[in-house]
Homo-oligomer: A and B are copies of this chain.
């Protein structure tokens, strides 16, 4: 009675092994969470209630700092002043118009701060609305007295393999640059360091070069993110070739999405930087535009790489699917070979298990061994035949 009993556990074990992989897919650990966050990243929340007047300064993003932090940096080739004023008034009072000034605002949740800056610097209603309602497409808007530039700052969250997008708003005026961020991001730090260290020619140039340097610092980070996504693609491909599981496919899908986010973010930047490089505004000198063109070239290279990685990720999916198909084919062939060989043999055994009274073969002395030999021969010749047909 061990036969029947031994079956169910075996089946259960087999079945549980089989469905193990499937359950991994269905439960999928962190993925549904990430999917939810994807929507937040992709679908911009409405700026204001429909029909409301333009120029609303309510921050639409996440509050990342306790209170708004202002940092003013003023410099020319010889001087450098750094100040962390506690209010806009203090900052404006301290401003030395003979120097290039850079006022950085971390935290967008105090409309009053934005309004004061807007009124002082004569920014357009809509420019300041775009600062507050983060999640803008990268764009460059030229106004009469200043240029508004919205730049996506990307960072890569390694544990969840997710590309995070934050908005950096930059306003370039004659002799000054304003930058606005949600939190105290470290993306602009290297430029601050260069200014303090008087590294390169940055101190000797105007506010347009500062705007270029900040833009360049933002865009340079993209290469690092591409490299990490490239590594992820590489690793996924290795797994598809060595040990493909449904989780691998989910990983490829996840990669595709991050590339989709990246693409959606970077594409508009091409146009915005193109406009920056070609602007005829007096605010940007021709010698600076040569540098902006270089950033523009970087963006084109980044877009190229994103597209190539997308092609690659599609290739990995295809590889996975054709690998799965391949394996199913092999499983099918085993089934077919087993069934095709044993079903006829079982039939023959069944024939001689019939209880007819008059079955002359049953009484023959060598019938049984001869039949066994015949059966083995039949089975082997079918194996040979299948092999010749290259089915096994």
Q: Known interface pairs A10-B379, A304-B264, A350-B346. Does A242 touch B362 (Cβ–Cβ under 8 Å)?
A: no
Q: Which of A145-191 contact B (CB under 8 A)?
A: 187-191
Q: Are A330 and B19 within 8 A (Cβ)?
A: yes
Q: Are B354 and A352 within 8 A (Cβ)?
A: yes
Is A68 at the interface (CB under 8 A from chain B)?
A: no
Main secondary structure of the interface of A (DSSP, over half): helix
Q: Are B220 and A14 within 8 A (Cβ)?
A: no
Chain B residues with CB below 8 A from A55, complex form: 200
* Interchain nearest-CB distance for A295 vs B (Å): 9
Is A15 at the interface (CB under 8 A from chain B)?
A: yes
* Interchain nearest-CB distance for A113 vs B (Å): 21
Q: 1/0 per residue A44-77: CB within 8 Å of B? A: 1111111111110000000000000000000000
Q: Are A22 and B336 within 8 A (Cβ)?
A: no
Chain B residues with CB below 8 A from A13, complex form: 383
Q: Are A367 and B375 within 8 A (Cβ)?
A: no
Is A94 at the interface (CB under 8 A from chain B)?
A: no
Q: Are B200 and A12 within 8 A (Cβ)?
A: no
Q: CB within 8 A of A338: which of B253, B340, B367?
A: B340
- What bracket does the count of chain A residues touching chain B fall in? 35 or more
Q: Are B339 and A335 within 8 A (Cβ)?
A: yes
Q: Known interface pairs A356-B368, A358-B368. Does A331 touch B333 (Cβ–Cβ under 8 Å)?
A: yes
Q: Are B26 and A242 within 8 A (Cβ)?
A: yes
Q: Are A361 and B330 within 8 A (Cβ)?
A: no
Chain B residues with CB below 8 A from A44, complex form: 223, 301, 305
Stretch at the interface among A35-43, A82-90, A104-112, A114-122: A35-43
* Interchain nearest-CB distance for A176 vs B (Å): 20
* Interchain nearest-CB distance for A41 vs B (Å): 10
Chain B residues with CB below 8 A from A136, complex form: 301
- Measured CA separation A325–B19 after assembly (Å): 13
Is A96 at the interface (CB under 8 A from chain B)?
A: no
Highest count of chain B CB atoms <10 Å: which of A17, A51, A137, A374: A51
Q: Are A290 and B124 within 8 A (Cβ)?
A: yes
Q: Known interface pairs A331-B332, A334-B14, A382-B8. Does A51 touch B194 (Cβ–Cβ under 8 Å)?
A: yes
Is A280 at the interface (CB under 8 A from chain B)?
A: no
Q: Are A22 and B330 within 8 A (Cβ)?
A: yes
- Measured CA separation A365–B358 after assembly (Å): 6
- Measured CA separation A290–B124 after assembly (Å): 9
Q: CB within 8 A of A312: which of B1, B25, B42, B382?
A: B42
Chain B residues with CB below 8 A from A351, complex form: 3, 349, 372, 375
What are 16 A-B interface contacts by the 8 Å CB criterion? A11-B340, A18-B392, A32-B241, A35-B237, A36-B238, A42-B308, A43-B230, A46-B220, A49-B220, A139-B297, A329-B331, A335-B336, A335-B340, A350-B353, A356-B362, A358-B368
